[in-house]
Structure 1
């Protein structure tokens, strides 16, 4: 069984605004990376994301960027086992809808087919679902859903 998932949501903003809310570290830090983000998401870059619920900064490798269409990221799988170091692949797809909204889909894949890999995939699925909800609240209403949630 291949461990992968995809979550999706509709954001009531144009695709350019939704895309920018992810690639701009200042905006991403306002609703998702509770410990801050450093570096703009651009092809070949390695950016840093920090979260209050997971101490320490995470390096995120930017594999591909197709403006307003797709972002592909690689980051280390979190299995809490130093001997199990490997990366998963995150793919974000942006679709401009006819009504002016954006459909944002986020998928992640590449975990080892072990109990620890399965647990890590469930945790990341929860995290990306929270990111979609937090993004919607931020870009549509200026509300930070994650503020105070983990600290």
Structure 2
């Protein structure tokens, strides 16, 4: 199955919602996101069953980031909102019923995910966040060091005669 990736950028980072087979997202740099909505398709039981794998994989790398469980495609069967989904209750995670097709609860989901992410970033005690911040600082320092050399190389070029 192809992955569905929706990103919303904020001034301090990004929120990403992923709906895909387990295993692949952690190898594409998604470890840096400060909040993780775990989305499953209410019409595809396999995506609900994959939540356990996704959650275990996430917690292996990011044990502290806030998670939200998202039941998508409620527009196909509104009665699904009356069902109990034990995964969310088992891990004490908030559960949102949404429809990406008609927009039901999507804005609320993203606003809450961003609110949780901002709170997490401001109060994080996670060692991985410290490591990731140091790596980000290193990248910024590298860019600053590279910038003057690029400016100098641009100035040393002499114009070609007409």
Q: Same fold (TM over 0.5)?
A: no
TM-score, scaled to structure 1: 0.32
TM-score, scaled to structure 2: 0.30
The structure in which a higher percent of residues are strand is: 1
The structure in which a higher percent of residues are helix is: 2
Greater relative contact order, per chain length (Cα 8 Å cut-off, separation 6+): 1
